[in-house]
Chain A
Amino acid sequence: MSKLRILVPVKRVIDYAVKPRVNKAQTGVETNVKHSMNPFDELSVEEAVRFRERKLPVEEIVAFSAGPAKSQDIIRTAMAMGADRGIHVVEEKTELEPLGIAKLLQKVVEENKSNLVILGKQSIDDDSGQTGQMLAGLLKWPQATQASKVEFDGDNVTVTREVDGGVETLKTKLPMIITTDLRLNEPRYASLPNIMKAKKKPLEKKTLADYGIDATRRLKTVKVEEPAQRQGGGKVEDVDGMISKLKELGAL
């Protein structure tokens, strides 16, 4: 089978356990909080590393991120988990939209001759769930989204994906795009020696201009608001209390 040249895009997002707060200006959320790698992207890195451990012919695993200087921390994390090198497109001003990222990734794929891109199915900040499919559309490659299992048989790839009401299995060929579902694997923790080793792995810094990408946003943020707050209705003493309260509320 052809050698796997895997690209794994990762995104720095507000840690999943932090409850985001909308800022006073209603332009976004407070970002002065703990950040981590997007949980779905950890699954992508883990899956790529497991391919190598399964003795598949993995030639290289490249971790990629676009964003502010701090994004390089999560590229280092990906390298500590087993990625071989990193590419960081440093962009401080504009937060790229999925279409912009997909166009950028298309260039990165061409430049690095990647034949497999594994992305998270969505980032937990924007919740768009678009980038992988957009990249597949631009490259005209097959796509398998929300993957919970990936198997290789030569150049044939069989992917089980999570769909409404169950799972479905697809078969396609490299090169292709895969997006990860939570069921795919359980990401490892980077060990201290691996974190130290990752510091020595090559990390290339680039800019949008290097790839000739126009980062102008297509969507204009009109405002960001706190959701309507639900008020808990208090507690009842026993099951009878629960039933009568539910009747009172018209739910039974």
Chain B
Amino acid sequence: MVVPIRTGLLRQAATCLRQNRATPVRTLSRDAAIRRLASTLAILEQRDGKLNMSSLASVTAAMKMGGSVHGFLAGSNIKAVADEAAKVEGLEKIIYVENGDYDRGLAENWAPLLVENIKKGGYTHVMAGHSAFGKGLLPRVAAMMDVQQISDITEIQGEDTFVRPIYAGNAILTVQSADNPKIVTVRGTAFASGAAEGGSASTEEGTDPKAECPTQWVSEDLAKSDRPELASAEKVVSGGRGLKSKEEFDRLMPPLADALGAAIGASRAAVDSGFADNSLQVGQTGKNVAPQLYLCAGISGAIQHLAGMKDSKVIAAINKDPDAPIFQVADVGLVGDLFEKVPELTEKLNSA
């Protein structure tokens, strides 16, 4: 008699437990709790009083956390930029700090500035683009807050779980963080920037610790171009070692880019050989791009290069070596001499 009752009770208990674990209601309430608690500070970038639209990828990522999202800006005449940012969809509040000392984005005074404002706002998450600015600044902030940062995330799986590529994109790592706040840089091509209109955030002045900056900004030399920006372009044409010289690169690539309305990129070999500017490098140590079309010529497809472009929607390649690794990832491959094929392609695109 006793045995069946015990078994029955155990079974009943087990069923209860199973139900408890699996009930959707419980998961929902947990998510709702996170939504109530999560609050993210998205670091926005500006240059000469203009909001950097590609930095809005941090807002898109922050919105996936489900809680409230505040944007952060600092620099001179920043109120106007804050008003512009207030229209960005998804932002609840813009925290801004008016001080020209922050115009150049130097990590030495920016890091204490952020630490103060993160503490004041009690944020659970801090997100910035994985740009030169974000890469230089956020680890410094993270160390000051005793947090292990998570770099260059491509996906958010939960309040504490993030996905990022490692080994030049040859492996995909999912990590879980118990740190508070969670400090994250975001891969721009993985989180398309949201709508610049339609929002109505409030604006509020932040805290300015006015930390001394031992570093002085001297000058900059930025490659000027009327073409779309490489990291966010819809189309990219890219040249490699096969172009043989800077003269040939400049002769063949710009007309092809013009015919397509594309940005120009380059492989490390082309940059190292001086064919193209460093800032055009696509790959593990250069830019990550994920355009609708990536058309490359004279690029063999080394793993470091593939790391920067293999998330492109369509990849087309022109190479004279039929065994080049680029053909293993290209949707459209043409084996041939680029010195013939590129001009022919340019001409046919122009006349189409």
Contacts and interface: CB of A to CB of B under 8 A. Distances in A.
Interface of A: 14, 16, 19-20, 22, 29, 97-99, 102, 121-122, 124-138, 142-146, 148, 158, 162-173, 181-183, 217-227, 230, 232-236, 238-243, 245-246, 249-252
Contacts of A183: 278
| Shortest beta-carbon contacts, A-B, top 10 | A166-B222, A134-B143, A218-B148, A133-B139, A130-B139, A233-B331, A137-B140, A137-B143, A251-B314, A222-B174
Most buried by B among A132, A217, A233: A233
Given A164-B231, A166-B223, A127 B151 contact: yes
B128 to A, nearest CB: 13
A221 B163 CA distance: 10
A124 B334 contact: no
A235 B136 CA distance: 42
B178 A22 contact: no
B314 A158 contact: no
Contacts of B133: 163-164
A232 B217 contact: no
Contact of A243 (B135, B171, B349): B349
A143 B136 contact: yes
Nearest to A170: B215
B304 A129 contact: no
B328 A232 contact: yes
Interface string B299-329: 0000110000010011110100010000111
B150 interface: yes
Given A122-B285, A230-B329, 15 more contacts: A130-B139, A133-B135, A134-B140, A143-B107, A164-B279, A169-B220, A218-B177, A221-B174, A225-B171, A226-B172, A232-B328, A239-B345, A242-B334, A246-B316, A249-B331
B214 A142 contact: yes
Contact of B285 (A20, A143, A182): A182
Most buried by A among B139, B170, B216: B139
B332 A249 contact: yes
Contacts of B173: 221, 223-224
A217 B285 CA distance: 26
B334 A166 contact: no
Contact of A236 (B229, B322, B328, B333): B333
Interface residues of B, number: 91
A241 B348 CA distance: 12
Contact of B132 (A29, A142, A163, A182): A163
A97 to B, nearest CB: 5
A133 B304 contact: no
Contacts of A222: 161, 174-176
A83 to B, nearest CB: 24
Contacts of B221: 166-168
B220 A128 contact: no
Given A163-B132, A219-B177, A170 B171 contact: no
B216 A133 contact: no
A182 B268 contact: yes
A94 to B, nearest CB: 13
A169 B278 contact: no
B100 to A, nearest CB: 17
8 contacts: A124-B284, A133-B139, A164-B131, A164-B287, A166-B223, A166-B279, A221-B173, A226-B172
Nearest to A97: B148
B343 to A, nearest CB: 10
A167 B220 contact: yes
Nearest to B306: A230
Contact of A169 (B149, B218, B327, B335): B218
B218 A165 contact: no
A130 to B, nearest CB: 4
Contacts of A102: 143
Nearest to A222: B174
Nearest to A122: B285
A226 B172 CA distance: 6
A170 B217 contact: yes
Contact of A239 (B231, B322, B334): B334
A162 B314 CA distance: 29
